[in-house]
Amino acid sequence: MNALMRIDPRGMILPVGLIIVAEAAARLTNLQSDALAPPSDILLSGIKALADGSMLYATWQTLANAFAGLAIGFSLGMALGILMGLFRPLNRLLEVTVEVLRPIPSVALLPVALLVYGFGHRMEFSIVAFATLWPALILTRSAIAGIEPRLLEVSRALQLSLGARIFKIVIPAALPRIFVALRLAVGISLIVAVTVEVTTNPMGLGYKMMEASQGLQPGLALAYLVWVGMLGWAVNGIMVLAQKHLFGAAANVEARL
């Protein structure tokens, strides 16, 4: 966890300075706003929401939906990416379909998902699954294409079955790049989950943020916004630590791809 918390103090100068300026400006102008609040009010509102458990419960709802959708979408995307990377005829067959569906914004499917599932967890993680499927598919297919061809020739010479070829040769060789795809998909899953909650689904951090805003509680709404940012930073930090622990020096190379 030390690496996660290793922050260059110089990087804190700007945010701390902005907080001080914002607090001073709010106090000097006697800020009265339905959309803005002094940093001190944001902090106090956040502490109160944490103390009464409402922020923690909303966090659990958002993370549960985000990671359930991520598990479904990434698994399907990785499986399709492996098959499309290994079998060129299948890649050519599905290429047009993938390129037509991939640009569709995930939130554009909200009306359909709402009709099928109604409000709740299933509606939200179905949208997250759709959003995370594409980076998993595209980057996994690219990772398979980058495997040393001689490894695949060896697997064919050994007459390995398709399953043995995938689990003994393909996945180990492509895993560092697949993990980069997972890091990207984790971030997307959180963004999409919060977006769905803001726009449609009455649960989670996004909904609590909108509820506070509509209730003319700007301090609380901004506290939820700051909390979402901190949550995303923490999750990304954990993923970076896992990547370095699993792949060592190779993690730095793959992260720049």
Cβ-Cβ contacts under 8 Å for 232 (sequence gap 6 or more): 187, 190, 191
Per-position b or e across 41-54, b if 16+ CB within 10 A of its CB: bbbebbeebeeeee
Backbone phi, psi, residue 38, to 5°:
-65, 150
Helix, strand, coil tally for the chain in percent (to 5): 85, 0, 15
> What is the largest distance, in Å, between two alpha-carbon atoms of the chain?
77
Q: How far apart are CA 226 and CA 237, in angstroms?
A: 17
pLDDT in tens, the chain (257 residues): 444 446 667 777 777 778 788 778 777 777 676 677 778 888 888 899 899 888 899 999 999 999 999 999 999 999 999 888 888 888 888 888 888 888 888 888 888 888 888 888 888 888 999 999 999 999 988 888 777 777 777 777 777 777 777 777 777 878 888 888 898 999 999 999 999 988 888 888 988 988 888 888 888 888 999 999 999 889 888 888 888 887 765 555 444 44
- Structural tokens at position 77: 């995307």
Helices (H) and strands (E) in the chain, counts: 13, 0
- Residue 2's pLDDT is what? 46
Instruction: Give yes or no for a contact between 62 and 197, defined as CB atoms under 8 angstroms apart.
Output: yes
| DSSP string over 57-115 | HHHHHHHHHHHHHHHHHHHHHHHHHHHHHH-HHHHHHHHHHHHHHTTS-GGGGHHHHHH
- Residue 129's pLDDT is what? 93
Instruction: Give yes or no for a contact between 133 and 78, defined as CB atoms under 8 angstroms apart.
Output: no
Domains and CATH numbers, the chain: 52-255 (1.10.3720.10)
- Residue 253's pLDDT is what? 46
- Residue 255's pLDDT is what? 47
- Residue 248's pLDDT is what? 65
Instruction: Give yes or no for a contact between 68 and 189, defined as CB atoms under 8 angstroms apart.
Output: no
